[in-house]
């Protein structure tokens, strides 16, 4: 397995199209979940320089912080709370263009301005979420949704 990824400049879509197969082969060769989550967080951080990118994992009735890149973050989130807990409850991706107008948003950092949360789903059950924060307003769009959902699908195989 190549341990270095290649990052290209170009449109967001071109960047995802270059990154996705590399991430896929990175995680295909490894069965350990934490190792794979850690590498996906690192790959996304390096490719897009997001403010915060990481995973929360379902443990009983809460989401618990998993592998991430960025500043320290809240460790536990209840179902239905914040953007992450809402994405868990709804089993659907949430795009939040302005975190200040999302009811119940949990501010782990005052620098976070917009956010996308993609649930990790296997056999119809949410087992975690991918959470990405930007320090820019209105940063995430349907391109992020499409490719991040595809990437999260690799992690649920």
10/80 with CB nearer ligand SME: 80
Residue whose CB is less far from ligand SME, 24 or 149: 149
Q: Smallest gap, in angstroms, from Cβ of residue 98 to ligand SME? A: 12
Smallest distance from ligand SME to CB 89, Å: 11
User: In whole angstroms, how close is the CB of 12 to ligand SME at the nearest point?
Assistant: 21
Residues engaged in binding ligand SME (CB under 6 A):
52, 73-74, 77, 82-85, 105-106, 108, 112, 115, 131, 133
Q: Do residues 116 and 140 lie in contact, with contact meaning Cβ atoms separated by under 8 Å?
A: yes
Q: Among all residues, whose Cβ is closest to ligand SME?
A: 82
- Alpha carbons 67 and 1: distance in angstroms, whole number: 21
Nearest approach, Cβ of residue 131 and ligand SME (Å)? 5
User: Which of 93, 112 has the CB closer to ligand SME?
Assistant: 112
Separation between Cα atoms, residue 83 and residue 72, nearest integer Å: 17
**Distance (Å, rounded) from C-alpha 49 to C-alpha 85?**
24
> Residue 141 to residues 149, 156, 157: CA-CA distances in angstroms?
12, 23, 25
Q: What is the DSSP letter of 100?
A: G
């Amino acid at each position: 397995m190549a341990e270095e990824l290649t990052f290209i400049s170009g449109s967001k879509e071109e960047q995802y199209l270059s990154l996705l197969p590399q991430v896929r082969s990175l995680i295909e060769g490894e069965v350990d979940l934490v190792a794979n989550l850690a590498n996906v967080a690192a790959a996304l951080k390096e490719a897009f320089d997001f403010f915060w990118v990481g995973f929360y994992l379902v443990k009983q009735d809460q989401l618990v912080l998993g592998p991430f890149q960025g500043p320290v973050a809240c460790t536990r989130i209840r179902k239905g709370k914040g953007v992450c807990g809402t994405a868990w409850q709804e089993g659907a991706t949430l795009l939040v263009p302005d975190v200040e107008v999302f009811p119940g948003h949990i501010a782990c950092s005052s620098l976070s301005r917009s956010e996308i949360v993609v649930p990790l789903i296997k056999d119809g059950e949410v087992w975690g979420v991918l959470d990405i924060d930007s320090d820019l307003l209105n940063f995430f769009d349907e391109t992020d949704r499409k490719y991040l959902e595809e990437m999260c699908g690799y992690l649920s195989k």
